[in-house]
Chains A and B, each alone.
Chain A
Amino acid sequence: MRSFSLILLLAIVVSCSEKQRLEVVKFDALENIIEAPSDKVEVINFWATWCKPCIAEIPYFQQLHQNNSSVNVTLVSLDFADEFHQKVIPFVETKGITADIILLDNIDYNSWIDKVDPSWSGAIPATLVINHQTGKRKFVEKELQEGEIESIIKELTD
């Protein structure tokens, strides 16, 4: 009985941790990912379904999510909130993305861009990597090539 409860508990924990986050959020939810202490390296990528260079680099983030359990990947969609079901969810399903997806519903961009990183112009794609353990972070405003995100993660670990 005891072992059964343990298995049940384990199953719940595993299913919870593996459940993909797929929702429309306000800025505080993103701020929480940026600021809350975490054992995992937070990789936060800003993208949109209409942004070609963003879509080109998304497979690298999906691979990272699948291959590296010490990293938490969040893909922040900047599509419009009322297009979440029409554009974002079909995109996620077609591409088989299992990393967390949050659509940031705040069109008053100037009110929050600097809070992500003061060096950000607002152009996408852009990626923020935070290692809460070492206290290091890096923000890049460009399309990443294969292997680049892994190099950044390594850079913040040393």
Chain B
Amino acid sequence: MQTLKVLLFVSILLFPFNGERLDGLGVGDKAADFNLKNVDGRIVSLETNEAAKGYILVFTCNTCPYANMYEDRIIELHNKYADQGFPVLAIQPNDTNKSPGDSYENMQARAKEKSYAFPYVIDETQETTKTYGATNTPHVYVLNKVSKNNFRIEYIGAIDNNSRNADAASKHYVEEAVENLISGADIPTKSTKAIGCQIKWGD
């Protein structure tokens, strides 16, 4: 009986945690908050920007060619939607031993070079990345603020359907999601997949 109780307790403890790690968060789930260090040295969470009605949360990095191809589009998304309450918040998920080009110093250099007007934070422990279930870069989560300390995930996936050429993209998934959140309409495409670089996990 004692063993059964212990087993039950252990399974309650482990099961949701394991599920989260394997599958990550999904559309409709409450977004997990975090405290991650920005390139300016400050700690950023979802509550830091009090004016935010939501976020365009992007797992991205310095080193992935796909992330690089999308970099200007990420900057444009911020320029277009920050004033409307949906700023970009970029998270660098790679282990910096495995991917030295993504070190904090290199992130600072990149943010400065491209004049990022949004936070570019580092997930040193990779716990936030695991919790969200991000797998590749760039990987976008569009969040909508439901109430204080409560953001809901409304869209997960790619920015658009043409990594090579922004002008040739026929579907702009993230823009569509944000526009629909602003206007209060349903989001027709709630998740998409795209080719990208695998997140470099630490040992």
Classify chain B: how many residues form its interface, as a range. 10 to 19
Q: Are B193 and A110 in contact (CB under 8 A)?
A: yes
Q: Are A114 and B193 in contact (CB under 8 A)?
A: yes
Contact residue among B161, B162, B170, B196 (Cβ-Cβ distance under 8 Å from A122): B196
Contact residue among B65, B161, B164, B199 (Cβ-Cβ distance under 8 Å from A110): B161
Q: Is A51 at the interface (CB under 8 A from chain B)?
A: yes
Q: Is B197 at the interface (CB under 8 A from chain A)?
A: yes
Q: Which residues of A are found within 8 Å of B136, using beta-carbon distances?
A: 121-123
Q: Is A19 at the interface (CB under 8 A from chain B)?
A: no
Given A109-B161, A121-B135, A123-B135, are A78 and B195 neighbors across the interface (CB < 8 Å)?
Answer: yes
Q: Are B197 and A122 in contact (CB under 8 A)?
A: no
Q: Which residues of B are found within 8 Å of A141, using beta-carbon distances?
A: 135, 198
Most chain A CB neighbours (cut-off 10 Å) among B163, B164, B196, B198: B198
Q: Give Cα distance in the complex from A120 to B170, angstroms.
A: 23
Q: Is A138 at the interface (CB under 8 A from chain B)?
A: no
Top 7 closest A-B pairs, CB basis?
A123-B136, A121-B135, A123-B198, A110-B192, A113-B193, A122-B193, A50-B65
Q: B: which residues have CB within 8 A of A?
A: 65, 135-136, 157-158, 161-164, 170, 192-199
